[in-house]
């Protein structure tokens, strides 16, 4: 049986979000060392966030932590959603966030909550809060029909193309809970339990999803790449100082220093370039 804490007081009303949405942060044992800094970043950059639950398969502790027993990602997610319903009985939507995509700059709470209001008003089931980008914008693809966007003022929710390779992106997204639970059941019934398989569109089951552009203040693809600190993230000058950024830079270059991180990245790139140019490849 999963480790569960007692249901929390359902009278709390966090900022503009109300009691029908909760924040679920998904992590696992190897990433738990970042949880204290992630909590601090959330307090710093998103103080009026929804009620939060952190789900893990490890040994993290805290009143906001749920430790599941499933060995698969979707199994753990299913257990965490059940726990959310126990703790927050009025919840209908979940803001799902992977730990390495936590905010690295202030969250525009007014814009996010306005977009959420539009989504609910249209009976929408899912909204992807995309990170800021000037390149590789998925909505520039010809398969996206943004003329059917849901728009009010400066807020535009673009309908996602069903051909989008991560139609069920787990980056930073809002789901209607019962819809997410049904999709998890459908994926598990097909033997799909990993996050990458979950993100693909499932024909005959899915409804229209929407994307809110430039909505989530993090770095593209997260602060970790292939198990290591993302060098581009810790050398991005637009990101302000924060507890998490300090920890990442110390891990990356040995010091909480933007300049030293940039110097290490430059030296690493030069070393790779030198190796590629001057070290001969093995011949068969």
Domain ranges of the chain: 21-218, 221-284
Task: Indicate the CATH number for domain 21-218.
Answer: 3.90.550
Looking at every residue in the chain, the average pLDDT score rounds to: 90
Q: Is the pLDDT of residue 125 over 50?
A: yes
The pLDDT, as a whole number, for residue 7 is 41
For residues 29 and 76, is the Cβ–Cβ distance under 8 A?
no
Q: Is pTM, for the whole model, over 0.85?
A: yes
The residue written with tokens 């949880």 in the block is 35
CA separation for the pair 208, 267 (Å, rounded): 46
CA separation for the pair 180, 36 (Å, rounded): 28
E strands in 143-216: 150-152, 155-159, 172-176, 210-212
The pLDDT, as a whole number, for residue 6 is 40
Q: Is the pLDDT of residue 49 over 90?
A: yes
Nearest-5° Cα angle at 76, 70 to 80:
130
User: Residue range 142-154: average pLDDT?
Assistant: 87
CA separation for the pair 169, 127 (Å, rounded): 10
The share of the chain scoring above pLDDT 70, in percent, equals 90
Q: What is the pLDDT of residues 25-40, one digit of tens each?
A: 999 999 999 999 999 9
HSE of 269, CA atoms in CB hemisphere, 13 A? 8
- The dihedral through the CA atoms of 41, 31, 77, 184 has a sign that is positive
């Amino acid at each position: 049986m999963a480790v569960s804490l007692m249901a929390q007081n359902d009278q709390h009303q966090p900022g503009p979000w109300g009691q029908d949405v909760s924040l679920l942060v998904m992590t696992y044992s190897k990433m738990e060392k970042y949880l204290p800094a992630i909590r601090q970043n959330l307090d710093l950059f998103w103080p009026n966030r929804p009620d939060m639950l952190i789900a893990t398969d490890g040994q993290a502790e805290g009143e906001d932590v749920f430790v599941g027993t499933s060995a698969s990602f979707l199994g753990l997610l299913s257990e965490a959603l059940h726990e959310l319903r126990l703790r927050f009985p009025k919840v209908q939507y979940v803001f799902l966030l992977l730990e390495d995509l936590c905010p690295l700059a202030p969250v525009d709470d007014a814009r996010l909550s306005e977009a959420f209001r539009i989504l609910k008003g249209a009976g929408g089931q899912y909204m992807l809060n995309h990170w800021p980008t000037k390149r590789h914008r998925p909505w520039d693809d010809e398969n996206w029909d943004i003329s059917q966007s849901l728009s009010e003022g400066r807020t535009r929710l673009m309908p996602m193309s069903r051909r989008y390779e991560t139609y069920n992106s787990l980056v930073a997204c809002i789901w209607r809970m019962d819809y997410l639970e049904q999709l998890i059941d459908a994926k598990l019934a097909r033997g799909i339990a990993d996050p990458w398989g979950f993100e693909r569109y499932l024909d005959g089951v899915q409804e229209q999803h929407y994307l809110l552009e430039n909505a989530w203040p993090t770095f593209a693809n997260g602060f970790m790449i292939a198990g290591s600190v993302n060098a581009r993230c810790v050398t991005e000058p637009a990101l302000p100082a924060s507890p998490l950024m300090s920890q990442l830079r110390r891990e990356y270059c040995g010091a909480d220093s933007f300049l030293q991180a940039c110097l290490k990245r430059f030296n690493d790139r030069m070393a790779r370039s030198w190796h590629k140019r001057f070290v001969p490849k093995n011949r068969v």
